Structure 1
Amino acid sequence: MANFKHLINQLGKIHLCSKHLSRNSSHLTKILDQKKQEFNLELDKLEKRIVDLEEYRRKADFYIKKSFKKVCNDVNKRRDEMDKIIQDHYLKLMEKIAKDRDEKKARFNQQIEQIDAFQIHVNKIDENLDTGAKIELLKDNLGDVRSKGKLVETAIADLTREDFSFTFPTDLSMNRVFGQVAENKHKKISVEVNNIFRDSALSENLSHKGDIIDLKLIDDTKLLSASKDGTVKMWDIETKTCIRKFSAFNHINSIACICELNDGLLATGYFDKKIKLWNLEKGECEMNIIAHSDQITCLTLLKSGFMISGSSDCTLKKWNQKSGECLAVFQGHSNSINCIDETEDEKILSGSSDCQIRVWNQAAKCLRVLNGHQDFVLCIKVLKNGRIASGSKDKTIKIWNVETGINERTLTGHMEPISCLLPLKNDKLMSGSWDGTIKIWDLTSGNSIKTIKVHQDKINCIQVDSNENIFTCSSDKTIKLLNLYDFNK
């Protein structure tokens, strides 16, 4: 601190030097006075900060510990999460072993019953028969004995055989599985209030009265939003104002999803198991379909022009929306369908709360099941080169090869479930999460290259237009606009 005080003393002498300057110029004198005033103000600030610095110096250990508190908490939280994941997986494995063990015992008991029921019919050999006849009778007797003996040997072999083995990867990278500590880039990015889509009928800076759960872009000029408040709104992107509200909805009948169809139609899926078709221009309902036995969760327009719906009743259905006819029912999942997408070669993908992804053909035949997520699959997107990305409640994103079913890479970084995905150019992927952030991933390296905090609650959907504008909606009841350029600041 002695050095700092010496510096202040030296600086303080500068005001004396002014007497040596010419006083002939009032203009220069005025400038001099201003600079002296600025100098003295800055000097006062410096003196105060040096006093503060002494306080920070004395408590340096406290502030250093405080600056590492969050990262330590995050590491400990991740450890607890991994402990739970490992414990849950261990319990699942042990449950499977117990189930397989019971099934093996049941099979053995069936074999015992079969052996007990097997009667050996011994033909009595009459001594008066010729030798050839006796041999034939003995052959019959021997055949029965050997058959029962084979049943006995099979039962013993099945019972004692080790039917299962435990396999595990030997090349696990703990940085990829557990996570790693990385230095923060202290550039704060935020979404300004003037980039919120505001409904003038609502107070504050809100877009809807309830959680906003889905968005759809219409030709880069309009945006559709669906909310749990029972409304769908159409927005003018340039002015960020609501230009149409589909007023036939009500709060009791909450909307779960929306889908733009051909011929100027909009499809909406409901908690009451129905799909409605709307004329976008007129805002009128043109068809009402009782579609499923439980709530509608997702809707997608297929390349064929047909519509496909997913439901909490564990099924997908393909529709001719012009006639309202169901063309196919896709059965196989054991829990709610949460997301649907379609590959370039028109295979249908579905993600479910049973933690599985299924690959289907158009005739509703399941071609492949992708297992790997430890919790609900919440979103799926088709990537290039025969790959897909899936996001889960287990807080991971997985990259899959559709043809082989192999999980090629797992991306970790979000602190909450992954709710939406969107492929970008140059092998990049955007993800939205319940933690209110958007991340951009480099799929070549598997690294998160940018993160931005957008919302105060769950992000439920993201859309990107041809101008690289990003639209997000959230359970915080707002729609926000930012640009990919913001990620490069």
Structure 2
Amino acid sequence: MSPWNQTASPYTKSPWIAPSFKENLNCNGLIGSIVREAGHIYSLAAYRDLLYTGSDSKNIRVWKNLKEFSGFKSNSGLVKAIVIAGDKIFTGHQDGKIRVWKISSKNPSVHKRIGSLPTFKDFVKCSVNPRNYVEVRRNRNVLRIKHFDAVSCLSLNEEQGLLYSGSWDKTLKVWRISDFKCLESIQAHDDAINSVVAGFDCFVFTGSADGTVKMWRRELQGKGTQHFLVQVLLKQENAVTALAVNEESAVLYCGSSDGLVNFWEREKHLSHGGVLRGHKLAVLCLATAGNLVFSGSADKNICVWRREESGAHSCLAVLSGHTGPVKCVAVEEDHDRENKEDQRWIVYSGSLDKAVKVWRVSEHAPELKGFISPTPENGFTQS
């Protein structure tokens, strides 16, 4: 178990297991769990006091204050990605579709599907022109604006009103949020795209099973935009499985199937900053908040890394308790903390063990009896 973790709860009546939640308001560690038999957790997104979870049951469930608040269901396709833009929720699915949902202004627990990407109107309009088709396999052509394989990842640039989608069909697509129009379709990689993240300035980063991390720059082209490949930051044999950007410190993090986390720093002209070594199996998800980086892995653990002013990273702790691979992680600021000077975060982790766990994490190492900080002797290093 994690040095921040409390003993597992014997209570199982509620899908949320948090018997000591009130007592632990000011403690680091595990503060709650959702255990659902509906399906494995593949995606989640946190927005203020709401948590959205997606699973292979095709359901998107909404949680509020550690209680089930609402939910909605797609017709097909397990939910591989969720992003939230105001009152709209975008979900990426195994069936290659991006579905769009809207929160009711009268009842925030009601979510109504308002369309999918591409829109039916754009689909019909483009389908009549042969030039809008691309050959994906022998004797098979598909519309350029439509993903024909699983949508594996989504990322928002809210300032520019853009949504990016990456797919196992190897393409990166750019959508305008205001009218759901596909602005670009880019043949970005030689294998499935596993992660996309809109980064600092006007850059977008993509990571693929082909072992590369690519950096794209958005430029104005008349009334629209166009993305150009700027640099291949990484090229390796192991698949790139996760990306995350810390916008405050302008650092890009990349997780791989070999269990390593590479990072690049903008202030050093995006030169390679180092490697974080803490996992025994593939890194499946990444998230950043403040000076912290969270890496979830197939080894069932979440490593908490802190970036120091020097740029070096140390592993603060390992959050353990999942009994399956940690597939997704999201972080929100903890607004209930008493000490406002202590930066604390609420961390949500979803796993293939059909559970979501909720953790409270401080940027300062917790002063708990028996706490042992991970050390190089235990395999936690930066190189």
On whether the aligned pair clears a TM of 0.5, the verdict is yes
Q: Once the 2 structures are TM-superposed, how far is the Cα of residue 364 of structure 1 from its aligned partner? A: 4.0
The question of 1:227 aligning with 2:93 is answered yes
The question of 1:245 aligning with 2:116 is answered yes
Given that 1:275 and 1:291 are in contact with CA atoms closer than 8 Å, whether structure 2 keeps it comes out as yes
Q: Once the 2 structures are TM-superposed, how far is the Cα of residue 304 of structure 1 from its aligned partner? A: 0.8
The question of 1:292 aligning with 2:189 is answered yes
Which residue does 1:347 correspond to in 2?
251
1:67-466 matches, cutoff 5 A: 176=2, 182-189=8-15, 206-219=73-86, 221-238=87-104, 239-247=110-118, 248=123, 252-261=148-157, 262-321=159-218, 322-331=225-234, 333-343=236-246, 344-362=248-266, 363-384=269-290, 386-402=291-307, 403-424=311-332, 425=334, 426=337, 427=344, 428-444=346-362
Q: Once the 2 structures are TM-superposed, how far is the Cα of residue 176 of structure 1 from its aligned partner? A: 4.3
**TM-score with structure 1 length normalisation?**
0.49
Distance 1:349 1:381, change over 3 A: same
Unaligned runs of 5+ in 2: 17-33, 39-51, 53-58, 62-71, 105-109, 124-144, 219-224, 338-343, 369-383
Structure with bigger RCO (C-alpha 8 Å, 6+ apart): 2
Given that 1:328 and 1:364 are in contact with CA atoms closer than 8 Å, whether structure 2 keeps it comes out as no
Given that 1:333 and 1:354 are in contact with CA atoms closer than 8 Å, whether structure 2 keeps it comes out as no
Distance 1:206 1:176, change over 3 A: closer
Q: State the secondary structure of the residue aligned to 2:80.
A: strand
Distance 1:218 1:245, change over 3 A: same
Q: Which has the higher strand share?
A: 2
Given that 2:198 and 2:205 are in contact with CA atoms closer than 8 Å, whether structure 1 keeps it comes out as yes
Distance 1:407 1:242, change over 3 A: same
Cα displacement string for residues 10-54 of structure 1 (whole angstroms, at most 9, x for unaligned residues): xxxxxxxxxxxxxxxxxxxxxxxxxxxxxxxxxxxxxxxxxxxxx
Cα displacement string for residues 71-129 of structure 1 (whole angstroms, at most 9, x for unaligned residues): xxxxxxxxxxxxxxxxxxxxxxxxxxxxxxxxxxxxxxxxxxxxxxxxxxxxxxxxxxx
| Aligned equivalents of 2:297, 2:318: Cα separation in 1 | 11
Distance 1:349 1:285, change over 3 A: same
Total equivalences in the alignment: 264
Aligned sequence identity (%):
26
Q: Once the 2 structures are TM-superposed, how far is the Cα of residue 396 of structure 1 from its aligned partner? A: 0.2
| Aligned equivalents of 1:440, 1:283: Cα separation in 2 | 33
Given that 2:80 and 2:94 are in contact with CA atoms closer than 8 Å, whether structure 1 keeps it comes out as yes
Q: Which has the higher helix share?
A: 1
| Aligned equivalents of 1:276, 1:393: Cα separation in 2 | 28
Q: State the secondary structure of the residue aligned to 1:282.
A: coil
Distance 1:324 1:183, change over 3 A: closer
Q: Once the 2 structures are TM-superposed, how far is the Cα of residue 186 of structure 1 from its aligned partner? A: 4.7
Given that 1:369 and 1:405 are in contact with CA atoms closer than 8 Å, whether structure 2 keeps it comes out as no
1:24-43 matches, cutoff 5 A: none
Q: Which amino acid aligns with 1:373?
A: H
Q: RMSD across aligned C-alpha pairs, in angstroms?
A: 3.0
Q: Which amino acid aligns with 1:367?
A: G
Q: Once the 2 structures are TM-superposed, how far is the Cα of residue 334 of structure 1 from its aligned partner? A: 3.6
Q: Once the 2 structures are TM-superposed, how far is the Cα of residue 372 of structure 1 from its aligned partner? A: 1.5
Given that 2:60 and 2:79 are in contact with CA atoms closer than 8 Å, whether structure 1 keeps it comes out as no
Q: Once the 2 structures are TM-superposed, how far is the Cα of residue 225 of structure 1 from its aligned partner? A: 0.4
Q: Which amino acid aligns with 2:153?
A: C
Given that 2:117 and 2:146 are in contact with CA atoms closer than 8 Å, whether structure 1 keeps it comes out as no
